[in-house]
Structure 1
């Protein structure tokens, strides 16, 4: 179940900062070897798209973007294709000189290029795509781990930011938090065990760590009420929270 289906608090909308992405790309750029083949993996999830540029399966650049306007209502194939087009626009200076590989999740390219008559948007995308020297290989979603995780984390943060006023200030609580303070410090220069920082937030695998305080109560109450979908019992509430978030003793707080 998508997080936006039950977090229905009427708060304002702001854009997620891209500082983390810029810093990561600055660091990873040093590992680019222009004698090797570039590979792109893309994914779209909810309100966000993500892509990773690799060489020999090693990331050399990341891309993430929040969907807005008409793109929010694109069908799955269009969102997948849009993720590819935006990554091509972002990395065209790397990709135009020599042949590269595109890995696709939902086979968006096969679907769109297989239509007998393209609409204007699809025709524009295909024309742009064909200006690049690419080959395509299809990869199952479960194999497309990096791009999928990137887009899902981006989607989670942008969704919360659109629902919770001041959500981005939550990351200021980690340093002095009893549950996560030490782990947050340990992840300053990279991942530690299963924890890492993304956009200044602490994650355990793909679950957002929630520091102590009233924000935990808010998430429990919203998950328990089911938003506009009706009342959830303890088991369903815990399952909903566990899918997206992490904090010690979550079951105790739900019960």
Structure 2
């Protein structure tokens, strides 16, 4: 990557190789309220700026050491929003040219997405965005349910109410993102809330595996026309779940979790 290209890497778009192929949003911020706990700024308060917003802003400078990570975050956002179209094939070198970087970090990022099941390698062409069907999304929701429900029921009876209350800002962040209809912002806030809840188990491996499944289930986040309504309903379940956990109402927790994962199995 040359010095002149560093300023444009995170602010360029996805090449329009196919009809309907879209661009990566200009502003990509890989914030994580849980990983960055204790930091200052919007992400530490559970706020998630929407990458889909069209407000003009300066292009961020991509640092050499983080270029792969920034491109990976940009591509993940494009997957959630549907800007990387299911079934479309994208060339690594063409993406690299648009990002203003060498092909190596782009290929590495796409290989990571292939491992996560978001894209598949097309020999001599590039990478095809995987089409997710209802059965696959239902299977992911079922596996998440098998992992998370028993843990949350145990935590509901053992974790002090004040610990749950500390997670209120993360539940509120999902409501704000849903109200804005921001798919990428909601996807980030949704995972942050679930990570924080599961982190109270003290099992880092559980948190990592559950988060990976959750991320995979978000591509696409939803295919319905009334996306804001769907997001608001999902976010409302987060707030209700937190209320039940604070009250140590295990029966209510079980009911809400069944509804939460059941709705995802039916999407």
For normalisation by structure 1, the TM-score amounts to 0.24
Write 1 or 2 for the structure with the bigger share of strand: 1
Q: Of Structure 1 and Structure 2, which has the larger fraction of its residues in helix?
A: 2
Normalising to structure 2: TM-score of the pair? 0.23
